[in-house]
A and B are shown apart, each in its own frame.
Chain A
């Protein structure tokens, strides 16, 4: 009997043909894509000089027009608050619609369809459509973030409703309660903590998003930032970015603390 003196690690893909096909196609994709990317290398190589100019223009950050910055930030905050409120109000019925265990099939598919639609489009795309429909400004921003909130809150809330203890619903129903009372007594108490938690989380994430949708004209501090960039005011742009980052860190911390306290 002889002891083997060779050993190879069994490959992740068993069939050698398939393995090589996989390796080659990944390599071909990477090389092919990088080679055919429409990149203007000349323009790109100028970039480093430009980066130097931009950064030297950005330092020190300028807080001279802090009035503009504060009003921009307050507008972002208002957009976030209104969008969260409206989003939550709309999310509750939508979540009930999209919960498999409480609604009939057609309504369920309609509900799912609505929030798949709401989730698939990046808020910036939604914003640019709303800006065209209702004009520049915070209204477009608030509408955008309402859609954004629905996509997130309604989905998670629907999943929560699908997890509820259905015995409670049956108990209330067997007591002869009508539809709405059943919802209020048997389901709402079970999903309430999740609803509040989602609301706080969503306020935080709306505040982040409102900085972004402003860039395409939907109001708030993002609009201020985009203007500063457009006018090559890099020191002001840096100041705004710092404020945005600071606000995000604070709001993340606050919402984290509140959510931890509640549970």
Chain B
């Protein structure tokens, strides 16, 4: 269970990007966050594992308040949160297996990391997951030899290697062509079910969001303005989420918009 309470994020002295935001994610569900660029979707996800430091508020994952953790405990907490990125964020010059195993870096000893002597259980799981997403034959290839869809599969496997309690995906399909994009979305949905894993996806493609998610959250200018089943999202609400700035918000955002 992920509970976000009164979350505020302000960069420097500017207006807040996230304004007093509350969100509860329970059980295994695939939740999509939609909203136009600059709505704060990416900042929200990055606050959850504190790649971005929240200004105020609390984020609790299964009983741990993430916002209050010091460096070492934060690393332990991050192991429980998997993340998939828009640009895949693989280390290009490492092999697929090394990239996949880097999801275990928070668990294994430094010596094992340097010498690449991974525990047998990790290797077995890596092969299982790679087999599951269809990249096992590339284990010894360099990450930059793979196509976009294959690279994102590596990214997904890396995140799953952490045995996460929740999976965050920041526009995982935005760099992919429509067909591959759909494959990755299907994969994320199926994996969420198989592993009983809550998944939060930032996504631009509303059609895909409606097709694959159990729940859709619409954000605009740092606030959640829609939160319901995909079927409930109609044209009027779409307009509100993606339309121009309403007058009372316009003053508040000022230069940030």
A positions within 8 Å CB-CB of B: 3-10
Q: Are A10 and B95 in touch, CB under 8 angstroms?
A: yes
Q: Are A7 and B118 in touch, CB under 8 angstroms?
A: yes
Q: How far is the CB of A147 from chain B (nearest CB, A)?
A: 42
Complex A-B: 19 CB contacts under 8 Å: A3-B127, A3-B128, A3-B131, A4-B124, A4-B127, A5-B121, A5-B123, A5-B124, A6-B120, A7-B97, A7-B118, A7-B123, A7-B126, A7-B127, A7-B139, A9-B95, A9-B97, A9-B116, A10-B95
In the complex the two chains form, what is the Cα distance from A5 to B123 in whole Å?
Answer: 5
Chain B residues with Cβ below 8 Å from A7 are 97, 118, 123, 126-127, 139
In the complex the two chains form, what is the Cα distance from A8 to B115 in whole Å?
Answer: 10
**B140 interfacial by beta-carbon distance below 8 Å:** yes
Which residues of B, 99-122, contact A by the 8 Å Cβ criterion?
116, 118, 120-121
Q: Nearest residue in B to A2 (C-beta to C-beta)?
A: B124
Q: Are A4 and B123 in touch, CB under 8 angstroms?
A: yes
Chain A residues with Cβ below 8 Å from B120 are 5-6
Q: How far is the CB of A11 from chain B (nearest CB, A)?
A: 11
Q: Nearest residue in A to B117 (C-beta to C-beta)?
A: A8
Q: Are A10 and B140 in touch, CB under 8 angstroms?
A: yes
**B170 interfacial by beta-carbon distance below 8 Å:** no
In the complex the two chains form, what is the Cα distance from A8 to B128 in whole Å?
Answer: 17
Beyond the given A3-B124, A3-B127, could you list 17 further A-B residue pairs with CB under 8 A, ordered by the A residue number?
A: A3-B128, A3-B131, A4-B123, A4-B124, A4-B127, A5-B120, A5-B121, A5-B123, A6-B120, A7-B123, A7-B126, A7-B127, A7-B139, A8-B116, A9-B95, A9-B98, A9-B116
Q: Are A6 and B123 in touch, CB under 8 angstroms?
A: yes
B positions within 8 Å CB-CB of A: 95, 97-98, 116, 118, 120-121, 123-124, 126-128, 131, 139-140
Chain A residues with Cβ below 8 Å from B116 are 8-9
Chain B residues with Cβ below 8 Å from A4 are 123-124, 127
In the complex the two chains form, what is the Cα distance from A21 to B97 in whole Å?
Answer: 27
Q: Nearest residue in A to B94 (C-beta to C-beta)?
A: A9
Chain A residues with Cβ below 8 Å from B131 are 3
Q: How far is the CB of A2 from chain B (nearest CB, A)?
A: 9
Chain A residues with Cβ below 8 Å from B98 are 9
In the complex the two chains form, what is the Cα distance from A7 to B117 in whole Å?
Answer: 8
In the complex the two chains form, what is the Cα distance from A4 to B121 in whole Å?
Answer: 10
Chain B residues with Cβ below 8 Å from A5 are 120-121, 123-124
Chain B residues with Cβ below 8 Å from A3 are 124, 127-128, 131
* CB-CB nearest 6 A-B residue pairs: A5-B120, A5-B124, A3-B127, A7-B123, A9-B116, A3-B124
Q: Nearest residue in A to B121 (C-beta to C-beta)?
A: A5
Q: How far is the CB of A10 from chain B (nearest CB, A)?
A: 5
Interface centre among A5, A7, A9 (most CB of B within 10 A): A7
Chain A residues with Cβ below 8 Å from B95 are 9-10
In the complex the two chains form, what is the Cα distance from A262 to B120 in whole Å?
Answer: 61
In the complex the two chains form, what is the Cα distance from A9 to B98 in whole Å?
Answer: 8
Q: How far is the CB of B2 from chain A (nearest CB, A)?
A: 31
Q: How far is the CB of A19 from chain B (nearest CB, A)?
A: 16
Q: How far is the CB of A5 from chain B (nearest CB, A)?
A: 4
Chain B residues with Cβ below 8 Å from A6 are 120, 123
Q: How far is the CB of B114 from chain A (nearest CB, A)?
A: 11
In the complex the two chains form, what is the Cα distance from A6 to B97 in whole Å?
Answer: 11
Chain B residues with Cβ below 8 Å from A9 are 95, 97-98, 116
Q: Nearest residue in B to A9 (C-beta to C-beta)?
A: B116
Q: How far is the CB of A216 from chain B (nearest CB, A)?
A: 45
Q: How far is the CB of A168 from chain B (nearest CB, A)?
A: 41
Q: How far is the CB of A175 from chain B (nearest CB, A)?
A: 51
Q: Nearest residue in B to A1 (C-beta to C-beta)?
A: B131
Chain A residues with Cβ below 8 Å from B139 are 7
Chain A residues with Cβ below 8 Å from B127 are 3-4, 7
In the complex the two chains form, what is the Cα distance from A140 to B131 in whole Å?
Answer: 73
Q: How far is the CB of B92 from chain A (nearest CB, A)?
A: 16
Q: How far is the CB of B135 from chain A (nearest CB, A)?
A: 14
Q: How far is the CB of A6 from chain B (nearest CB, A)?
A: 6
In the complex the two chains form, what is the Cα distance from A5 to B125 in whole Å?
Answer: 8
Q: Nearest residue in A to B141 (C-beta to C-beta)?
A: A10
In the complex the two chains form, what is the Cα distance from A3 to B128 in whole Å?
Answer: 7
In the complex the two chains form, what is the Cα distance from A10 to B95 in whole Å?
Answer: 9
In the complex the two chains form, what is the Cα distance from A80 to B128 in whole Å?
Answer: 68
Q: How far is the CB of B246 from chain A (nearest CB, A)?
A: 49
Q: Nearest residue in A to B127 (C-beta to C-beta)?
A: A3
Chain A residues with Cβ below 8 Å from B126 are 7
Interface centre among A5, A6, A8 (most CB of B within 10 A): A5
